[in-house]
A and B are shown apart, each in its own frame.
Chain A
Amino acid sequence: MRFVDLHLRPSIEDVHQVEKMVGKSSELGYHLVGISLLPDVTQEEIRQLQKICSDVRIDLVTRADFVPKNPLELLDNLRHFRRRFEVVSVACLSKPVARQAAKDRRVDFLSFPAIDPRKRFFDYAEAELASKALSSLEIDMAPLLSSRGFSRFRLLSCLRKEVAIAKKFGVPIAISSGATNEHLMRGPHDYAALAALFDMPTPLALRALSETPMTVVERNREKLSPDYVAQGIRVVRRKRIV
């Protein structure tokens, strides 16, 4: 099983921290990591990150996290930046944004970072839209690790409900670390054990750490490839006509 952590959030300017986190991912058994990048990231910075990852034999996925204030801003971000990143996630902080993100096929992951249940919008309607548009629900484990007491059990309660809704509607679930430093990173089996706290069965949790994110990455890499024409159609050979 190839484990994937698609949401590492190091400070890109601090190369030392990036190296530590990527090295930790390799130690913990991940084969592929996704690092959150700003929309204006340069090719030089991406090449540097790829070199850091290849030094520890880990594959890198470029990722953009959009936090739009309204659906128009989301559509604008997708129009400008979708093709520059292999994975796109939208943090849904309002209901209109959540609905638009769930409907849009260009969005790979829906994330709901708020701990307050009134600000989490993954309900039946959202799940139905997401299941038709092939979006996945992303669960970050860092908030679960860093919260305590009342906020933690409120978060667990929300996650339990959302996992149940996602299972009912067939929305794929992906688990990521969401870690900003190496202290918040854990191995895949440890995350699977933590996922049992919100009633996610271990086999489903392990799939959420491997197959589900891997499928998204492979699908997007194929679409972003220069040989891609449409689903099921790709350029096999090019011929110069003189």
Chain B
Amino acid sequence: MNAVWTAIFQLFGEHGASQANLTLIECNPQKGYAIVRCSHKALEMVRASIASITEINEKPAAVHVLGVSGTLRALRKKHSL
């Protein structure tokens, strides 16, 4: 989450970060995914920020958005989580 917040700050500043309303819902390091909630109006901004992450803890990394959904139930069903 630190990497996501840092990316939002770098691209959109404090004003953009305040609009995102970002919350971590679930994180599964074994399967390599996390579920994050954000404001629907800030969806594209959060998406761009996540795409711009190129390192985490000084190691090269890439974060991909697997899917977007309005409800957790539909998201888990679609992606078999």
A complexed with B: yes
Residues of B within 8 Å of A144, CB to CB, are: 52
Q: Once the chains bind, are B51 and A191 in contact (CB under 8 Å)?
A: yes
Chain B nearest Cβ from A22, distance in angstroms: 16
Chain A nearest Cβ from B60, distance in angstroms: 5
Of A70-78, A180-188, A233-241, the one contacting chain B is A180-188
Cβ contacts A193-229/B at 8 Å (1 or 0 each): 1101100001000000000000000000000000000
Q: Does A148 interact with chain B (Cβ within 8 Å)? A: yes
Chain A nearest Cβ from B15, distance in angstroms: 15
Q: Does A15 interact with chain B (Cβ within 8 Å)? A: no
A28 to B66, CA, bound (A): 9
A191 to B44, CA, bound (A): 10
Residues of A within 8 Å of B47, CB to CB, are: 189-190, 193
Q: Once the chains bind, are B64 and A197 in contact (CB under 8 Å)?
A: no
Q: Once the chains bind, are B54 and A146 in contact (CB under 8 Å)?
A: yes
Q: Once the chains bind, are B54 and A194 in contact (CB under 8 Å)?
A: no
Q: Please report which residues of chain B, range 24-81, place their CB below 8 angstroms from some CB of chain A when the two chains form the complex.
A: 44-45, 47-48, 50-52, 54, 60-62, 64-65
Q: Once the chains bind, are B64 and A184 in contact (CB under 8 Å)?
A: no
Residues of A within 8 Å of B60, CB to CB, are: 183
Residue of B nearest to A185 (CB): B62
Known: A146-B54, A183-B54. A193 touches B61 (CB 8 A): no
Q: Once the chains bind, are B54 and A145 in contact (CB under 8 Å)?
A: yes
**What are 6 A-B contacts with C-beta separation under 8 Å?**
A185-B62, A189-B65, A190-B65, A193-B45, A196-B45, A197-B11
